Amino acid sequence: MAGNLSFDELKSAAKSGDIDTVLVCCVDMQGRLMGKRFHVQNFIDSSHEETHCCNYMLATDLEMATPDGYATTSWRAGYGDYVMKPDLTTMRRVPWLEATAMVLCDLLDHKTHKPVPQSPREMLKIQIARLKELGYEAMMATELEFFLFEQSYRELAQSGYRELTPISAYNEDYHILQTTKEEAIMRPVRNHLFAAGIPVENSKGEAEAGQEELNIRYAEALDCADHHTIAKHAVKEITWAHGRSATFLPKWHPNKVGSSSHVHMSLWQGKTPAFRDENGEYGMSELMRHFMAGLIEYASDYTWFLAPYVNSYKRFMKGTFAPTRTVWSVDNRTAGFRLCGEGSKAVRVECRIGGSDMNPYLAQAALLAAGIKGIEDKLELAPPTGGDVYENTEARHIPSTLRASTETLRNSKMLREAMGDAVVDHYVRCAEWEQEEFDKAVTDWEIARGFERV
């Protein structure tokens, strides 16, 4: 069981007054938890079967605006409903909120009760099923990096986000002294998540003032995405409860390192690591070589799923540990893909392209689709790259803007085959809208640069 609370345990907890509220959540395109707060009795009596939400749930932007251009829903179609179907295996306690439990839902068509293909959870399930057909399961881990600030969300919003003071004054990479000062937030983050059935490994200071990393033990791909989404949500809620703020923006300051979400991947057959071959180069199996070749070949196709906003592309800068080129290396942090656990049972590939703003369901679905294509076509893996990959001018670049990654997504034959045209077109529209909104903005930079001088 992925969660840690069975339906029977929920009933007992309701009877004893231990739990009075159930958060019934789905995941939107941006990777956020959206849904309703149910009285536990109503959830037990009926809503555990299903509830409903407006079908704009998968067609809004971060501001909940309702752009046109989606085939799934529109003003013209009257914005009908989706069914939210609780996946009771994901039910868990939410220890950082009083007397509260949570369940994740799948989104189903209101009339047919078939899964909505554009739903991030469904998109990942489809790639997991394709992998299963080939005889493998994916184990994944997604690292969470973020910044903590001294001020609350409200204070920062009221200052127009001009007075952002990171919670520490200096680079706190691996710093025990500085992170001790942040334990008021990070200790409850680790312990509450662990008590919610999320296998937290550790947190650590990261390579910038106020930057944190949270690591969760690798798990089956769907569980991994669920863990990531709940953990990100918990970090925000726990930080908010302490009168502070956290951001998962990949780049909040031009001169400071960005935040990423690296994705670790390995394929397994039951308990046997299918990426391992004792006699293979670096202990890698043929299967792993094909999977990695697929990841590298199609990196531009799926970059948007790892970097979905204008801001995401501000992170890809030379000398910042954020990769810009589609090559692999052996334990070298300047390449887009890094071989980890070389020669061991934990041999795996880490994709370093993803930003802290990625939706983990979409990211993992896209990465698996590319890896599967590599396996199906038996793609050959080029030799690893060494040295400073930023200086390697022969290696291919990933798209460097949202505009460019929207086009590589639109033109991806691989993703259209793996996910279907309706799904790719849906997310292309999402990407276009974000760019359209940005194009309308007049930024501080333009004003400061040109006000007097033009």
* Residue 38 binds ligand ADP, judged by CB under 6 A: no
Nearest residue (CB) to ligand ADP, 140 versus 368? 140
- In the complex with ligand ADP, the residue whose CB is nearer, 73 or 215, is 215
Q: How many residues bind ligand ADP (CB under 6 A)?
A: 13
Asked whether 140 and 264 are in contact (CB, 8 A), the reply is yes
Residue from the set 92, 93, 227, 264 that interacts with ligand ADP by CB under 6 A: 264
In terms of CB distance, is 99 or 346 closer to ligand ADP? 346
- Please tell me the distance from the alpha carbon of residue 353 to that of residue 431, in angstroms, as a whole number: 18
Stretch in the footprint of ligand ADP (CB under 6 A) among 63-71, 126-134, 264-272, 403-411: 264-272
Whose Cβ is closer to ligand ADP: residue 56's or residue 146's?
Answer: 146
Q: Enumerate residues 6+ apart whose C-beta is below 8 A from 189.
A: 203, 214, 231, 234, 235, 238
76-82 LR contacts (CB < 8 Å, sep 24+): 79/54, 79/55, 80/54, 80/55, 80/110, 81/52, 81/53, 81/54, 81/55, 81/110, 82/52, 82/53, 82/54, 82/55, 82/57, 82/58, 82/107, 82/108, 82/109, 82/110, 82/116
Residues 181-220, interacting with ligand ADP (CB under 6 A): 201, 215-218
Closest contact distance (angstroms) between CB of 174 and ligand ADP is 10
227 makes contact with ligand ADP (CB under 6 A): no
Strand positions, DSSP E, 41-158: 51-54, 81-93, 100-109, 137-142, 144-149
Q: Residue 346, interface with ligand ADP (CB under 6 A)?
A: yes
Comparison of 91 and 128: residue with beta carbon closer to ligand ADP: 128
Considering beta carbons, is residue 213 or 297 the nearer one to ligand ADP? 213
Spatial separation of the C-alpha atoms in residues 377 and 366, rounded to whole Å: 17
Q: How far is the CB of 196 from ligand ADP (least distance, A)?
A: 17
Reference 227, options 360, 350, 353; nearest CA is 360
Q: How far is the CB of 7 from ligand ADP (least distance, A)?
A: 29
* Smallest separation, CB 315 to ligand ADP (Å): 17
| Closer Cβ to ligand ADP, 218 or 433, answer by number | 218
Residue 261 binds to ligand ADP (criterion: CB under 6 A): no
333 binds ligand ADP (CB under 6 A): no
Beta-strand pair 100-109/81-93: antiparallel
Can you count the helices (H) and strands (E) in the chain? 14, 16
Q: Which is nearer to ligand ADP, 202 or 411 (CB)?
A: 202
Q: Residue 305 interacts with ligand ADP (CB under 6 A)?
A: no
C-alpha span between 402 and 395 (Å, rounded): 20
Q: Which of residues 110-149 bind ligand ADP (CB under 6 A)?
A: 139-141
DSSP 171: B
Residue 366 makes CB contacts below 8 A (sequence gap 6+) with 301, 302, 305, 306, 415
Q: Smallest distance from the beta carbon of 212 to ligand ADP, in angstroms?
A: 13
Residue 266, interface with ligand ADP (CB under 6 A)?
yes
Q: Which one, 138 or 423, has the nearer CB to ligand ADP? A: 138
Least CB distance to ligand ADP at residue 102 (A): 22
When asked if residue 276 is in the footprint of ligand ADP (CB under 6 A), the reply is no
CA atoms within 13 A on the CB side of 79: 11
Q: Tokens standing for 223?
A: 């569980």
Q: Does 364 interact with ligand ADP (rule: CB under 6 A)?
A: no
Separation CA 103–CA 100 (nearest Å):
10
* Residue 345 Cβ vs ligand ADP, minimum distance, rounded to whole Å: 7
Between 216 and 296, whose beta carbon lies closer to ligand ADP? 216
CA dihedral angle for residue 243, residue 248, residue 252, residue 257, rounded to 10 degrees: 120
- By CB under 6 A, residue 231 contacts ligand ADP: no
Q: Give contact residues for ligand ADP (rule: CB under 6 A).
A: 139-141, 201, 215-218, 264-266, 346, 348
